[in-house]
Amino acid sequence: MTRFIFITGGVVSSLGKGLASAALGALLQARGYKVRLRKLDPYLNVDPGTMSPYQHGEVYVTDDGAETDLDLGHYERFTGVPARKSDSVTTGRIYSNVLAKERRGDYLGATVQVIPHVTDAIKEFVLAETEGEDFVLCEIGGTVGDIESLPFLEAIRQVGNELGRERTLFIHLTLVPYIRSAGELKTKPTQHSVKELQSLGIQPDIVVCRTEMEIPAESRKKIALFCNVKPENVVQALDVDTIYQVPVAYHGQGLDTQVVRHFGLEEKEPDLSRWKGIVQRVRQPEGEVSIAIVGKYMNLRDSYKSLAEALTHGGIANNVRVKLDWIDSVVFEKEDAVQHLEHVHGILVPGGFGERGTEGKISAAQFAREREVPYFGICFGMQMAVIEATRHLVGIKNASSTEFGPTPEPVVGLLTEWMRGNQVERRNAEDDLGGTMRLGAYEAKLATGSRVYEIYGNATSISERHRHRYEVNPAYVDRLEAAGMIFSGMSPDGSLPEIIEIPDHPWFIGVQYHPELKSKPFEPHPLFTSFVKAAVEQSRLV
């Protein structure tokens, strides 16, 4: 029997609802249950694919090619369950489906309304593809009280009513702020937020309170009384020093115990050794390395959430703390790269879009290549390394990417046709922005004996997630190979370069895909483990 847990948030945004959901998923999994996590986002974009990273943070990509909210990354990192297209939906997607049905005449002349047509479409999404799961955790984006969330809240209220208490549970996450001048924690915002939820017909079963101070028993009782929940169902969520402590901390406060109790399930202790081990390694590393991340959205860390996590995982694997030095590549256009990069033990150029700052990224790749500093180029970072090598090793000074406009030397260019398995996929330069990217899992064949072959444990074939529009142009491969760069990973039909490396360098690898999306704290991605290891070796030299 599949049970549904709905997680809503109140008072303010950014309370860590995604992490709370992910951590609860991990805790239920540690009790032996099969879980799936889902996100319902109230905005009107069909998916976050076309949203600016400044507004929305990273776009997380699933194996089946969906562009989703970054919370799906948390879910996957905490539970190891690969997210699917059917785990993420927005108001925009719901409406576009409802409107398409209306145009087709599927509603048989009915007046199409928010209730029941939109809410039915939301319920369909919540309940779809859940066979075999013990728990489906659905996080509702936004904050209770937003006009936009109303249809979602109404839909989950209906699900609660239809499936009954034995199969549904509502968790509400709020903030209990500490008011310094009064020297007190305040429960009123929580009371108001729960009242708002109740006015929509939802009575939360558990109230989780984010707080920077211990909530005294008295305040807890007050919250329980005013919010109409049991005192043991008021769960305190104190700030923690590392996100991997979140499952352990929630367990300590009884969150998962109250959840299984609600459903009348057996209360066996979960095995949290995996999480305790990770926390221990994060808290007590044996050393430290610094990695420069040279990119564009440097003042907004959420744009590179998975990347920062994957580097931490690489650190966990090597027992070191990875210190990240976020550098906006445009600084190299005014200043020499040397002063910013001289002290670091590794340089990473991550994914990116558009021309701004690209000359700086190319300089960073050049610095890493010439000074023999470990270099990791991811997607755009690989393309920049290839342009750099074409300019300075092959000697084609005006090598560029068609992403920046027409060029006589398109080392990186738009490809309009490629293979997915046995199927040809096509795109058109004029297509909608959302429809022109190579998205999701694609296979790559690795060259035996190459460095990546060894890093991937002598695998000849790998599958990794993609999100890009441009490709390294195969027409330049021979000249680049003659100059010392090898193409150690190619698409199965041999047409698209997936991985480049420079064998005559301590560690210089570029990948067209996003390995950071699949790294997990308990299963660090081999490329990040290897890159951080190279940085540790570099730190012994400088």
Per CB under 6 A, does 304 bind ligand GLN?
no
**Can you tell me which of 121, 155, 379, 517 binds ligand GLN, judged by CB under 6 A?**
379
Per CB under 6 A, does 63 bind ligand GLN?
no
Per CB under 6 A, does 403 bind ligand GLN?
yes
**d(C-alpha 330, C-alpha 296), whole Å:** 8
- 425: phi > 0 → left, psi -120 to 50 → alpha, else beta; which? beta
Nearer to ligand GLN, 349 or 455 (CB): 349
**d(C-alpha 489, C-alpha 510), whole Å:** 10
Residue 474 has a CB neighbour count (10 Å cut-off) of: 16
Q: Which residue is nearest to ligand GLN (CB)?
A: 351
**d(C-alpha 336, C-alpha 252), whole Å:** 50
Indicate which residue of 154, 498, 516, 525 is catalytic. 516
Rg (CA), the chain: 25
Per CB under 6 A, does 498 bind ligand GLN?
no
Q: What is the per-residue DSSP string for 378-439?
A: ETHHHHHHHHHHIIIII--TT-EEGGGS--SSEEEEE--EEEETTEEEE--TTS-GGGSSEE
**Can you tell me which of 392, 469, 479, 520 binds ligand GLN, judged by CB under 6 A?**
469
Binding window for ligand GLN (CB under 6 A); candidates: 33-41, 189-197, 299-307, 464-472:
464-472
Q: Could you tell me the CA-to-CA distances from 81 to 26, 37, 67, 290 in Å, in that order?
A: 10, 9, 17, 31
Nearer to ligand GLN, 352 or 526 (CB): 352
Per CB under 6 A, does 380 bind ligand GLN?
yes
Binding window for ligand GLN (CB under 6 A); candidates: 65-73, 148-156, 318-326, 466-474:
466-474
Per CB under 6 A, does 369 bind ligand GLN?
no
**d(C-alpha 81, C-alpha 63), whole Å:** 11
Per CB under 6 A, does 297 bind ligand GLN?
no
Nearer to ligand GLN, 3 or 518 (CB): 518
For residue 251, the 8-state DSSP code is H
Residue 210 has phi, psi (to 5 degrees) of -75, 135
Per CB under 6 A, does 470 bind ligand GLN?
yes
Indicate which residue of 379, 403, 501, 525 is catalytic. 379
**d(C-alpha 70, C-alpha 163), whole Å:** 29
Nearer to ligand GLN, 370 or 432 (CB): 432
Nearer to ligand GLN, 160 or 360 (CB): 360
**d(C-alpha 425, C-alpha 367), whole Å:** 37
**d(C-alpha 221, C-alpha 55), whole Å:** 38
| DSSP run (H or E) holding 144 | none
Contact 10, 207 (CB under 8 A): no
In this structure, which amino acid lies at residue 510?
A: G
| DSSP run (H or E) holding 324 | strand 320-328
Binding window for ligand GLN (CB under 6 A); candidates: 60-68, 334-342, 347-355, 474-482:
347-355
Binding window for ligand GLN (CB under 6 A); candidates: 163-171, 288-296, 465-473, 482-490:
465-473
CA atoms 11, 12, 13, 19: torsion sign: negative
Per CB under 6 A, does 57 bind ligand GLN?
no
In this structure, which amino acid lies at residue 12?
A: V
Minimum distance between the CB of residue 507 and ligand GLN, rounded to whole angstroms?
20
Per CB under 6 A, does 60 bind ligand GLN?
no
Minimum distance between the CB of residue 59 and ligand GLN, rounded to whole angstroms?
9
Which residue is associated with the tokens 């009954």?
Answer: 164
Nearer to ligand GLN, 16 or 49 (CB): 49
Nearer to ligand GLN, 167 or 469 (CB): 469
Nearer to ligand GLN, 140 or 362 (CB): 362
Nearer to ligand GLN, 151 or 295 (CB): 295
CA atoms within a 13 Å half-sphere pointing along the CA-CB vector of 50: 11
Per CB under 6 A, does 352 bind ligand GLN?
yes
Per CB under 6 A, does 346 bind ligand GLN?
no
- Does 209 participate in catalysis according to the annotation? no
Contact 142, 126 (CB under 8 A): no
- Among residues 518, 499, 517, 519, the alpha carbon closest in space to that of 509 is found at 499
**d(C-alpha 200, C-alpha 192), whole Å:** 13
Per CB under 6 A, does 357 bind ligand GLN?
no
Per CB under 6 A, does 418 bind ligand GLN?
no
- Does 262 participate in catalysis according to the annotation? no
Minimum distance between the CB of residue 46 and ligand GLN, rounded to whole angstroms?
19
Contact 465, 62 (CB under 8 A): yes
- Does 379 participate in catalysis according to the annotation? yes
**Can you tell me which of 361, 468, 525, 533 binds ligand GLN, judged by CB under 6 A?**
468
Per CB under 6 A, does 404 bind ligand GLN?
no
**Can you tell me which of 33, 107, 326, 353 binds ligand GLN, judged by CB under 6 A?**
353
**d(C-alpha 517, C-alpha 61), whole Å:** 7
Which residue(s) pair with 424 in the sheet? 419
Indicate which residue of 74, 466, 505, 514 is catalytic. 514
Minimum distance between the CB of residue 403 and ligand GLN, rounded to whole angstroms?
5
Minimum distance between the CB of residue 152 and ligand GLN, rounded to whole angstroms?
30
Minimum distance between the CB of residue 353 and ligand GLN, rounded to whole angstroms?
4
- Among residues 231, 185, 247, the alpha carbon closest in space to that of 210 is found at 185
Per CB under 6 A, does 427 bind ligand GLN?
no
Per CB under 6 A, does 351 bind ligand GLN?
yes
**Can you tell me which of 313, 467, 505, 525 binds ligand GLN, judged by CB under 6 A?**
467
Residue 402, Cβ density class (10 Å: 0-12 exposed, 13-18 middle, ≥19 buried): middle
Q: Give the catalytic positions in this structure.
A: 379, 514, 516
Binding site for ligand GLN (CB under 6 A): 351-353, 379-380, 403, 467-470
